[in-house]
Structure 1
Amino acid sequence: MAAILDTTRSDAVTDHSTPSVERLLTGADLLATVQPWMHLPEDEPLMEPVRPGRIGISDVARIEATTDAFRRLDNSHGGGLSRLAVVGQLQHVTSLARQSTASEQVSRSLFAAVADLASVAGWMTHDAGEHADAQRYLVLGLKAAKQAGPDGAGIGGHLLNCLARQANHLGHAADALELVQAAQYGTRKMPAGRLRALLFSLEARCHAVLGNVSLMVRATAAAESALSDEPGEPTPSWAAWFDTAEYHVTAGVCEFIAAEHDPSRAERAVALITEGTQHRPAERVRSSAFDQIALARAYVRARLPEAAEIATATALTLMGEVTSTRVGDRLRELDTELAAAPPTAVITDSRDRIRAALQSS
């Protein structure tokens, strides 16, 4: 908890116009950092409070509700606008936890709530392009999840998923696969459902990037099976984002990545991504922007530049509704895809529109 307090206090007073002093962990350093989550004893004693107070399960519920509200803001508007607000909330909640006493079960629930809030802070920070700082929040959240004991297994798996998705975004697919496999090991005792499905889906994407197409296909099928086997219990908010829309889009993205080695897969990529976009909730604006960018890239690989132009135009419209450096990053990837395509007037126009949007953002 002390590390979270120090990090949030420093973040709140840092001039974010200058580069972060944090170092992004990769490779063995990153894996060594997350290993304790899987191997520390579950009966590790809880930290003693600095001074006595009292916190109950209703207080934890309010923290969870606030976290859910921040997560909705992130999904709708991106991480840029609300990032420092969620960092301030994380600082407040962590201070509260250090200064309070509670029953053993409430304490475990509180640590899980802190871990979830740290996941939102980390994800917003990643979305704002501050990747080393984002990684630090996610790792600190993982430590809080471990303190929650069995109650923290699910949110711990989600935090590793966030770290893996970040690694994939930054081009470290081998690290991402290791993180996914660590999450799968750490959550192996949990029932089938969305967490297992999203981890299989992310595993499939890692395999696609690494060129392991047969393993990609197997992991995609496992994700579909796990999603269909979801128990009837309420879905935690940190897992609710992985629905059938997300599954289809991710499967489609895997296919268009694989199409680099087997062009015949491009048409299936288009079909899967289109299926996902038809079921994407309207409030998931940033995800919808990603959908359209992925669809445009799939159309390019399927040699359908006119369709790619329509998807690109839709993505650019959605980009104006969110504050997210990741949307800009994905648009740059689309521009690279278009640059490699046979030159046509449609391709040139799409590239001009993308570059204009990136310059003004």
Structure 2
Amino acid sequence: MNTIGSRSSLVTSEFWESQEMREALLKREISTVYKLLRKNGISQRQIAAATGQSQSEVSEILKGRQVMAYDVLVRIADGLGVPRGFMGLAYDEGTAIKVVGTSGDPQSEEDESVKRRKFLAHAAAVTVGAAVFGEDEGWAPASDQTPIPGRIGVTDVRQIEAATSALRSLDSRHGGGFCRDAVIAQLRWAQQLLSAQRRDGIENRLFVAIGDLHNLAGWTSFDTGLIDSARGHFSRALEFARRGGDDSLVANVLYRTGRLYLHHEEPNEALKLFQLGQMAAQNTGSQLTTAVLCANEAWAYAKLGMERPAKNLVNMAKDMFERSERTDPPGWVRFFDETDLYAMIGAIHTELATKDDADPKHSRIAINSLTRAINDYGGVPTRNVAFQCTMLALNHLIEGDIDQGASMGALALDASEHVRSKRVFDRMRPLEDLAQKRSANPMSRELAERIRSHRVA
């Protein structure tokens, strides 16, 4: 039987089963939870000690301050011993979560080219406004019924948005492998709110919030190498974004799906998705969203070895970025700042630099752009730093500067130790191959061996 804590329980597990408490937990009304604990004789000091909060924080919550941050809710649940499922935070030993694209699913064995064509057709239909909501293409995550609030309002939607924002930040810093389970759990909870009665005026915002959670679930799945799962979540994200009337989110989902294909060396399919994204972006009037799509189209053209359209789109991305309004962009496009623009420029010229008979200027432009991006990241070992250091190392090796290449490669490996991302090691393969070709140099040979051992591990 579960109790709060173990040797020093504040209350027994039955305490969480009362109707009043279950309703408060279900709605994540932490103020009510704390008030019920106080009525049961638990002091503010005891609550603070169990949850890792200060007494002043506990006091503010008792006075009505809302708790919306996902990580704080998890800390409160774990500290007090509340079963996570009671708060819709479920992905623990006591709660089964069904994840799209599990092994043994016949859909996962379908020919990859067929899946790509199906997704592209589905994405095109959603982008132009076809009524496809809820159609099952074999990608949809299963959802079991669990208790939900009888009626939801803007506070519930804000909680979804706040959780998504917190989880997106974790993904950016630590990789999809660090937080994907939590994203799937949060999504499972959020989707059940669709069957609750809704206050007037929140329906579209709820659809968009759930769509963005699917968007994040797709991205973290992609980052951990779960292609079918990623595609399934991106498909649902498109549907919810369209039903919520948010073209900006539609464009962003298409950009992220395009990146999945770009990563797996399918630039033609990626380009089609980026171009669909441009159609949605044009409807928003958001130049920042358009800049993201232009930069990624440029990368796809660079992978195809088409320098002129790649350069034209880089210039368009720069122009759109300079003219964009960046004071309060949507969360899903907020990442694209000047640092990320320079990182993209570096990636595009790195791609061009690796082509046969490449102009040496591409590696020089890439080195300048990537160095600027890495400096702006401030030395924090994140997934982006691992990406940029990897590309910078590759360009230095192309230039024949083995010392700098090995040094930047070592930094890339150090950054990779802090993230859980299959993409990081996938992106190191070209660097490993080139370092192996230069293995007559001891530093280059050591770099190739380190990358290989890390990738295998």
TM-score normalized by structure 1? 0.88
Q: In the TM superposition, what whole-angstrom CA distance separates every residue of 1:298-321 from its partner, at most 9, and x where no partner exists?
A: 112222111110111001111111
C-alpha distance in structure 2 between counterparts of 1:82 and 1:289, whole Å: 18
SS at match of 2:400: coil
Contact 1:26 1:175 in 2 (8 A): no
Contact 1:256 1:301 in 2 (8 A): no
C-alpha distance in structure 2 between counterparts of 1:56 and 1:327, whole Å: 40
Shift of 1:333: 2.6
C-alpha distance in structure 2 between counterparts of 1:241 and 1:254, whole Å: 18
Which residue number in structure 1 is paired with residue 67 of structure 2? none
C-alpha distance in structure 1 between counterparts of 2:163 and 2:149, whole Å: 24
Does residue 421 of structure 2 align to residue 336 of structure 1? no
Which residue number in structure 1 is paired with residue 397 of structure 2? 300
Cα gap change, 1:15 to 1:311, in 2 (>3 Å):
same
Counterpart code for 2:212: D
Q: In the TM superposition, what whole-angstrom CA distance separates every residue of 1:90-141 from its partner, at most 9, and x where no partner exists?
A: 01101012223232x3100110101111111111111111111111111111
C-alpha distance in structure 2 between counterparts of 1:101 and 1:235, whole Å: 26
For structure 2, list consecutive stretches of 5 or more residues without a partner in the other structure: 1-90, 134-144
1:175-324 superposed matches below 5 A: 175-259=269-353, 260=355, 261-264=357-360, 265-280=362-377, 285-324=382-421
Shift of 1:17: 8.7
Does residue 233 of structure 2 align to residue 137 of structure 1? yes
Report which structure shows greater RCO (CA 8 Å, sep ≥6).
1
Cα gap change, 1:139 to 1:284, in 2 (>3 Å):
farther
Shift of 1:353: 1.2
C-alpha distance in structure 1 between counterparts of 2:100 and 2:331, whole Å: 32
> Which of residues 212, 222, 230 is equivalent to 1:116?
212
C-alpha distance in structure 2 between counterparts of 1:301 and 1:27, whole Å: 33
Which residue number in structure 1 is paired with residue 97 of structure 2? 12
Shift of 1:192: 3.8
SS at match of 2:414: helix
Does residue 191 of structure 2 align to residue 106 of structure 1? no
Contact 2:387 2:427 in 1 (8 A): yes
C-alpha distance in structure 2 between counterparts of 1:226 and 1:288, whole Å: 25
Shift of 1:196: 1.1
Which residue number in structure 2 is paired with residue 83 of structure 1? 180
Counterpart code for 1:129: G
Contact 1:249 1:273 in 2 (8 A): yes
Instruction: Quote the sequence identity (%).
Output: 25
Which residue number in structure 2 is paired with residue 125 of structure 1? 221
Shift of 1:249: 1.3
Q: What is the root-mean-square deviation of aligned Cα atoms in Å? A: 2.6
Cα gap change, 1:52 to 1:83, in 2 (>3 Å):
closer
More divergent stretch after superposition (215-224 vs 17-26)? 17-26
Shift of 1:155: 1.0
Which residue number in structure 1 is paired with residue 445 of structure 2? 348
Which residue number in structure 2 is paired with residue 157 of structure 1? 251
1:50-69 superposed matches below 5 A: 53-69=150-166
SS at match of 2:176: coil
Counterpart code for 1:58: T
Aligned residues: 344
Cα gap change, 1:302 to 1:263, in 2 (>3 Å):
farther
C-alpha distance in structure 2 between counterparts of 1:85 and 1:236, whole Å: 22
Shift of 1:193: 3.0
Q: In the TM superposition, what whole-angstrom CA distance separates every residue of 1:17-52 from its partner, at most 9, and x where no partner exists?
A: 94665345555323201012222269x9xxxxx999
Shift of 1:281: 5.7
Which residue number in structure 1 is paired with residue 268 of structure 2? 174
Which residue number in structure 1 is paired with residue 33 of structure 2? none
C-alpha distance in structure 1 between counterparts of 2:400 and 2:336, whole Å: 30
For structure 1, list consecutive stretches of 5 or more residues without a partner in the other structure: 1-7, 45-49
Greater Rg by CA: 2
Which residue number in structure 2 is paired with residue 5 of structure 1? none
> Which of residues 29, 53, 78 is equivalent to 2:118?
29
